């Protein structure tokens, strides 16, 4: 009887150990896999990447359209204060678009998830907060009798909708990027949505950056036409 119980104890003990072995192997392998997955990089060449080129072209165009201005020489509908404000706001937007995180990825050939996170954070804190909300919003919000220009009169509603769409453009990416620190039980669905966000994140973010650069360029071109004599 006692021998039987001893054998029984041995069976229970080794069954438990087998379970713990399976459990620890699973966690060890899944952790190794997760660690390697979040280290995946996106290799690209900023000088040939079409998305990056498009964005850089917009930046060059904005810069060319915003040389030094003398408000006293301006002879259009806007007041000198409005001319100087518009000029400062567009120039500030150019600076925000050309932020540190963006310059960092322009000088890299290999992007990691951390670069994408930094670029998204810069989009929220620099581009959305300082450029879109503080500066570009002014063009959409200014009273029509205050900003007496045919272009803005006709396009303010469109501008408003466009800027509103930019504000929440990358929120889902932020959520996805944060998810890369939790994995629970791995499935192919989790892998595709949570991990390896570098390439997808890059293109999503560049689309948002390009959107802001495009509208800034559009406004810069209008402003350049409007203040032709004052340059």
Binding residues for another protein, per CB under 8 A? Answer: 2, 5-7, 9-10, 12-14, 16-17, 19-21, 23-25, 27-28, 31, 35, 38-39, 112-114, 117, 177-178, 180-182, 184
Contact 87, 73 (CB under 8 A): no
Residue (12 or 161) nearer to another protein, CB: 12
User: Residue 170 gets which letter from DSSP?
Assistant: T
SS3 of 145-202:
CCCCCHHHHHHHHHHHHHHHHHHCCCHHHHHHHHHHHCCCCCCHHHHHHHCCCHHHHH
Residue (22 or 161) nearer to another protein, CB: 22
Distance in Å, CB of 104 to another protein, minimum:
15
Distance in Å, CB of 101 to another protein, minimum:
13
Distance in Å, CB of 179 to another protein, minimum:
8
Residue (18 or 229) nearer to another protein, CB: 18
What does the alpha-carbon distance between residue 39 and residue 37 come to, in Å, rounded to a whole number? 5
Q: CB neighbours of 150 closer than 8 A, spacing ≥ 6?
A: none
Residue (88 or 129) nearer to another protein, CB: 129
Distance in Å, CB of 115 to another protein, minimum:
11
Residue (5 or 50) nearer to another protein, CB: 5
What does the alpha-carbon distance between residue 158 and residue 17 come to, in Å, rounded to a whole number? 66
Q: CB neighbours of 165 closer than 8 A, spacing ≥ 6?
A: 211
Residue (121 or 218) nearer to another protein, CB: 121
Interior angle at CA 80, CA 77 and CA 85, nearest 5: 105
Distance in Å, CB of 225 to another protein, minimum:
44
Distance in Å, CB of 9 to another protein, minimum:
4
Q: Where are the beta strands (DSSP E) in 88-198?
A: 110-111
């Amino acid at each position: 009887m006692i021998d039987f119980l001893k054998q029984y104890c041995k069976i229970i003990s080794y069954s438990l150990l087998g379970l713990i072995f399976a459990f620890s192997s699973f966690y060890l392998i899944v952790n190794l896999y997760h660690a390697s997955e979040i280290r995946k990089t996106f290799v690209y060449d900023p000088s040939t990447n079409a998305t990056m080129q498009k964005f850089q072209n917009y930046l060059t165009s904005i810069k060319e359209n915003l040389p030094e201005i003398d408000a006293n020489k301006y002879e259009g509908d806007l007041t000198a204060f409005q001319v100087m404000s518009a000029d400062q706001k567009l120039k500030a937007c150019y600076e925000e678009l050309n932020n540190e995180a963006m310059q960092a990825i322009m000088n890299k050939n290999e992007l990691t998830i951390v670069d994408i996170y930094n670029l998204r954070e810069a989009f929220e804190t620099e581009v959305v907060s300082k450029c879109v909300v503080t500066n570009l919003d002014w063009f959409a919000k200014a009273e029509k009798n205050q900003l007496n220009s045919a272009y803005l009169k006709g396009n303010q509603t469109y501008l408003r909708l466009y800027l509103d769409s930019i504000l929440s453009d990358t929120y889902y990416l932020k959520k996805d990027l944060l998810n890369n620190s939790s994995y629970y039980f791995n499935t192919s669905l989790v892998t595709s949505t949570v991990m390896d966000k570098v390439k997808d994140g890059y293109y999503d973010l560049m689309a948002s950056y390009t959107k802001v650069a495009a509208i800034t360029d559009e406004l810069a071109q209008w402003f350049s036409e409007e203040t032709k004599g004052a340059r």
